[in-house]
A and B are shown apart, each in its own frame.
Chain A
Amino acid sequence: MATSMIIKKGLFVITGAMMLVILYLIFIWVPTEKNLGVSQRIFYFHVPIAWVGFLAFSFVLVGSVGYLWKRTSGWDRLAYSAAELGVLFTTLMLITGILWAKPVWGVWWTWDPRLTTSLILWLIYVAYLMLRAYSPKGDQGARYAAVLGIAGFIDVPLVYMSIVWWRTVHPQALIGPAATGELDPSMRLLLMISTLTFTLLFAYLLVDRVSLRRNEEEVEVLRGLIEPLR
C-alpha cells in the first residue's frame, strides 16, 4: 500500500516538473516554424496528446483481452480507466486539432480521412463509456465492454495510417514509422520530451483512476450486501 503511494506521489511530482519544463521549451526555447508561425507550436500539444490517446486505447485492448481470458477484476479496472483517459486525451486531440486547423487551413473542420477516422475513434470509446454506464454492473457489463474494447481498437491503426493510405490535407507524418518528412532536430527533441511528459501524466492519471475504480467496486459490493436488508 505504501509503495503505491510513493509511486503516485513520485509520478505527480515528476510530471508537474516536466510540464513546467516543456512550458518553457514550447514557448521560449524552440524556434518558430517559418511557414506556419507561432500557432505551429500547437504541434507540441496536439501530437503527443494524440499518441497518448492511442496508447490509452491499446491499454484498453490489453485490459479487455485480459479480462475475457482471466476474468479477474484487475484487468477490467485497467480497461475502464484507460478508456476514460483515452476519451479525455482524444477529446483534447480533437479540440487542439480544430484550433490548429482554423488558422492554417481556414476551416475548423474538414471531412478528410484522418479527421474522420479520428472522430470515429472518439465516438467508439465514448460508446464504450456509455455501454458501461447502461449495462448491468459486474461481470456482464465488463464482458460487453471488453468485446467493444477489442472491436473498437481496429480504428487506431486506421487513424494512424489514414494519412499514408488516402489523400489527405492533414500534414504528413514527420516522425515515426509512417514518416515521409523531416523534422528539425530541436523540434524533434521537444516533441519527444513533450511526448514523455504527457505519457507520464497519463501514467499518473491511470494509476489514480485504477485505485479509484477499486473503491468504486468495493462500494458496489457493499451496497449489494446492504440493500437487500433495507
Chain B
Amino acid sequence: MTGFWPTVAAVVWKDIQAELRTKDIVISVLAFALLSLIIFNFALRPSPQLTPVVAPGVLWVAFTFAGVLGLTRTFVLEKEQGNLIGLLLTPTSREALYVGKMLGSLFFMLVAEAVLLPVFAVLFNISPFQPGLLLIILMATLGFAAIGTLFSAMAVNTRSREIVLPMLFLPIVVPIIIGAVVASGTALDGGPWSDMVRWFQLIAVFDVLALVFSAFAFEHVLQE
C-alpha cells in the first residue's frame, strides 16, 4: 500500500516525463497564449494611455484560454492508452491521484505563464516583476488547476471534450478571473497591498473550496 505523497510524486513525475517527450501541453499553451496577446493588441489597439488599463484583462484572458487548452489534455494520454484502468487498479487513494494530476497541470501552466510574462511585458511595455503580481498568478493558476483537473477528468469521457471543458470550467472560475484582473491591475500600477488584500482573500477562499471539493468529488468521477 503506497503512501499518499509517494503516489503523488509518482504521478507528477510520470506526467513530467511524458510531457518532456512530447512537449504537447506546454507548446500548445504557449502558442495559443502568445497568439492571443498579439490578436488582442490588434483588436483593442490601445493607446499608451489605454494600455495599462486593458493590460491586466488581456493577460488574464490569454492565461485563461491557454489554461483551458492545457487542461483539456490532462487526461487525454490516460484515456488513449487505457492507463486510467491501470491507475484505478492500484491500491492508491483517489485523492492522491487527484493531487498528482493537479500538481502536474499546475506545473505546466506555471511554466507556460513564466515564459509568457516577459513577452507580455515587452508587447505591453509593462514591468511585470512585482511580487504582488507573481503571487496572484500563482494563486489564481492554482485555482484553475484545482477545478480544471476535476472537470478535465469528466470532459475526457464526453464527446467534444474541447467544448465541454471550457463550458464547465469558465463560468465557475469567473470569481478567480475577476479577482486576478483587478488585483493584477493594482499590482502593475504599483498600488498598495491593502487594495489587493480582499482579492487575495477571494482567490484564496476559492482555491481552498475548489481543492477540497475536487479532491472529494474526484472519486465519483473516476469510476468506470
Residue A205 lies at the interface, judged by CB distance under 8 Å to chain B: no
Q: Known: A124-B171, A124-B172, A152-B172. Is A134-B223 also a contact (CB below 8 A)?
A: no
Majority secondary structure, A binding face: helix
Name the one of A134, A140, A152 contacting B159, with C-beta atoms under 8 angstroms. Answer: A134
Most buried by B among A68, A131, A136, A146: A131
Residue A47 lies at the interface, judged by CB distance under 8 Å to chain B: no
Instruction: Name the distance in Å between B191's Cβ and chain A's nearest Cβ.
Output: 19
Name the one of A116, A131, A152 contacting B154, with C-beta atoms under 8 angstroms. Answer: A131
In the complex formed, the residue of B with least CB distance to A146 is: B220
How many chain A residues touch the partner (CB < 8 A)? 23
Is the Cβ of A143 less than 8 Å from the Cβ of B164? no
State in angstroms the CA–CA spacing of A130 and B170 once bound together.
Answer: 14
Give B156-204 interface residues, CB cut-off 8 Å to A. 157-160, 163-164, 167-168, 170-172, 174
Residues of B within 8 A of A155 (CB): 171
State in angstroms the CA–CA spacing of A154 and B170 once bound together.
Answer: 15
Is the Cβ of A151 less than 8 Å from the Cβ of B221? no
Residue B116 lies at the interface, judged by CB distance under 8 Å to chain A: no
Is the Cβ of B157 less than 8 Å from the Cβ of A135? yes
Is the Cβ of B217 less than 8 Å from the Cβ of A150? yes
Interface bits A105-124 vs B (CB < 8 Å: 1, else 0): 00000000000100010011
State in angstroms the CA–CA spacing of A152 and B150 once bound together.
Answer: 13
Residue A18 lies at the interface, judged by CB distance under 8 Å to chain B: no
Residues of B within 8 A of A134 (CB): 158-160, 163-164
In the complex formed, the residue of A with least CB distance to B171 is: A123
Identify the 3 closest CB pairs spanning chains A and B, nearest first.
A123-B171, A134-B158, A127-B167
Given A146-B220, A147-B150, A147-B217, 7 further pairs, Cβ under 8 A: A123-B167, A130-B164, A131-B164, A131-B167, A150-B213, A151-B147, A151-B217
| Residues of chain B having any CB pair with chain A under 8 Å | 147, 150, 154, 157-160, 163-164, 167-168, 170-172, 174, 209, 213, 217, 220-221, 223-224
Q: What are 29 A-B residue pairs whose CB atoms fall within 8 Å in the complex?
A: A68-B220, A116-B174, A120-B171, A124-B171, A124-B172, A126-B167, A127-B168, A130-B163, A131-B154, A131-B158, A131-B164, A134-B158, A134-B159, A134-B160, A134-B163, A136-B157, A136-B158, A140-B223, A143-B220, A143-B221, A143-B223, A144-B154, A144-B158, A147-B154, A147-B217, A150-B213, A151-B217, A152-B171, A155-B171
